[in-house]
Amino acid sequence: MNFLNIPTVDLDDQNHSLVLLDQTLLPNETVVLRLQNRQDIFEAIQKLRVRGAPAIGVAAAIALYLAVKNGTFSCHESFFRALSETKAYYSAARPTAVNLFWALDRMENTAKNAADKPIAEIIRLLREEALLIRDQDIESCKKIGENGLTLLSPGMGILTHCNAGRLAAVRYGTATAPIYLGEERGYHFHVYADETRPLLQGARLTAYELTQSGIDVTLLCDNMASYAMQKGLIDAVLVGCDRVALNGDTANKIGTSGVAVLAQYYHIPFYVCAPYSTVDFSCPDGGHIPVEQRSADEVTQLWYEKPMAPSGISVLNPAFDVTPHSLITAFITDRGVIRPPFEVHFKEKL
C-alpha cells in the first residue's frame, strides 16, 4: 500500500465508517482503521491514532454525521438531543485544538439551520457539511502553501517542530504545504525536523512523510535546534498550531515556544501556518487556552523496552505550550500572510 495514496481521514459511507490511517503505528506499519462505534472513535482521537488539529476536526465532523445517520428518532427533539449529546461526548476527547470544537459547532449549526426540514434531510445536509469540511481543509492547505512560498527562497533551510504535515490534515498539511509546493516548483528546501519528545511526531511522522515524498529532510533531537541555528543551517521556522488567541498567542506542540525563543535570538523568522479557522475569536490571549496534560508513561516508558526513569517519579507532560505573539513573525493562513498587530489584522480578514 503506497502511503501517499492513503487519506489521513475519510468517510466510508457504505460501510458506515470513519476511515483513519493509524498514526500510532507509523512509520513501521501502515494500517487503515475503519471505525464505527463512538467509543472506538473517541479512543482513536484521544490516543492520537488521528491527530493534528485539522485532521481531528474533520474526524469529529464525520463521526458526528455517522452517529445520527442510522439512528431512529421519534421526533426532532430526540434527534437534536442525540446530536448535542454526541457533540459533547466528542468535545471531551482533546481540549486544545480549536478545530475540534469549530468543526462540531459547524455541524450542529448546519442541523439547527435546517430544523424545519425532515430528519432525513437534516442528516443528508450533515453528510454534505462533513465532506465540505474535509474538502475545504485540502483547499485551505493549498492556499497556505501558496502564501507561504511568497516568504521563502529556493535552497532555504527550514526547521519544523512536531507534525503539521499531510498526516495532521487531509492532504498537504499546514507547515508542510509550502514545502511540498516548493518542491514541485524546484525550490529544494533542506528541511530539519525536530523529533518532538515525548510522542515523536517529528521523527515518526514528519520525517516519514517528507522522505516518502522525496523531500530532503534531516532529523534532529529537540535539544539540537540551537546548534542548527548557530551553524547557520536554518533560514526560517515553519510550525503549525492548535489554537490562536485573538492577540496572536499560539498553542502548538510542546517545545514550540522554545524554538520561537531561539529563533528570535538568532534573528530567524518564525512563521505559524494555519487555516484562518484556527483563530479563536472567543479567546483573548494565550492564558485562556486550555493545555492538555497527558499521562506520565508517555515520558517515562512509551518508547523504551524498560522504563527509563525511576518508578513513581513525578512527571510533567503538557502536550502543548503557548508561544507569545511577540515571538511570531507572521501567520501564514489561507486568507494571506498576517503580520502584527495580529488582533487588528485577524479582524480585517474576517
The reply to whether 243 sits near ligand MRU by the rule CB under 6 A is no
Whole-number Å distance between alpha carbons of 46 and 60: 12
Min dist. Cβ of residue 267 to ligand MRU (A): 23
Of the candidates 10, 137, 194, 242, the residue annotated as catalytic is: 242
In the region spanning residues 210 to 239, those forming contacts with ligand MRU, defined by CB under 6 A, are: none
Min dist. Cβ of residue 64 to ligand MRU (A): 19
HEC readout, 128-189? HHHHHHHHHHHHHHHHHHHHHHCCCCCCCEEEECCCCCHHHCCCCCCCCHHHHHHHHCCCCC
**Residue 312, amino acid:** G
The reply to whether 52 sits near ligand MRU by the rule CB under 6 A is yes
The reply to whether 48 sits near ligand MRU by the rule CB under 6 A is yes
The reply to whether 53 sits near ligand MRU by the rule CB under 6 A is yes
Count helices and strands in the chain by DSSP H and E runs: 12, 14
Residue among 83, 168, 200, 263 that touches ligand MRU (CB under 6 A)? 168
Helix or strand holding residue 337 (H, E): strand 336-338
Whole-number Å distance between alpha carbons of 149 and 160: 15
Q: What share of the chain is helix, strand, coil (3-state, %, to 5)?
A: 45, 15, 40
Instruction: Report the residue number whose CB is nearest to ligand MRU.
Output: 240
Residue among 143, 253, 325, 335 that touches ligand MRU (CB under 6 A)? 253
CB atoms within 10 A of CB 56: 27
**What track of x and - describes contact with ligand MRU for positions 309 through 328 (by CB under 6 A)?**
----------x---------
Residue among 64, 97, 119, 263 that touches ligand MRU (CB under 6 A)? 97
Min dist. Cβ of residue 145 to ligand MRU (A): 12
In the region spanning residues 138 to 167, those forming contacts with ligand MRU, defined by CB under 6 A, are: 162, 164
**Residue 141, amino acid:** C
Residue among 242, 280, 321, 334 that touches ligand MRU (CB under 6 A)? 242
* Catalytic site includes residue 242: yes
In the region spanning residues 288 to 307, those forming contacts with ligand MRU, defined by CB under 6 A, are: none
Contact 90, 100 (CB under 8 A): yes
**Cell 490571549 appears where?**
285
The reply to whether 51 sits near ligand MRU by the rule CB under 6 A is yes
The reply to whether 201 sits near ligand MRU by the rule CB under 6 A is yes
| Strand arrangement of the beta sheet that strand 236-239 belongs to | 217-220, 190-194, 157-160, 236-239, 270-273, 330-333, 336-338
Whole-number Å distance between alpha carbons of 327 and 310: 36
Residue among 11, 54, 332, 336 that touches ligand MRU (CB under 6 A)? 54
The reply to whether 252 sits near ligand MRU by the rule CB under 6 A is yes
Min dist. Cβ of residue 240 to ligand MRU (A): 3
Contacts 24+ apart (CB under 8 A), 125-128: 126/64, 126/65, 126/68, 126/69, 127/11, 127/13, 127/65, 127/69
Question: So which residues are the catalytic ones?
Answer: 242
Under the rule (CB under 6 A), what is the footprint of ligand MRU?
Answer: 48, 51-54, 97, 162, 164, 168-169, 173-174, 201, 240-242, 252-253, 319
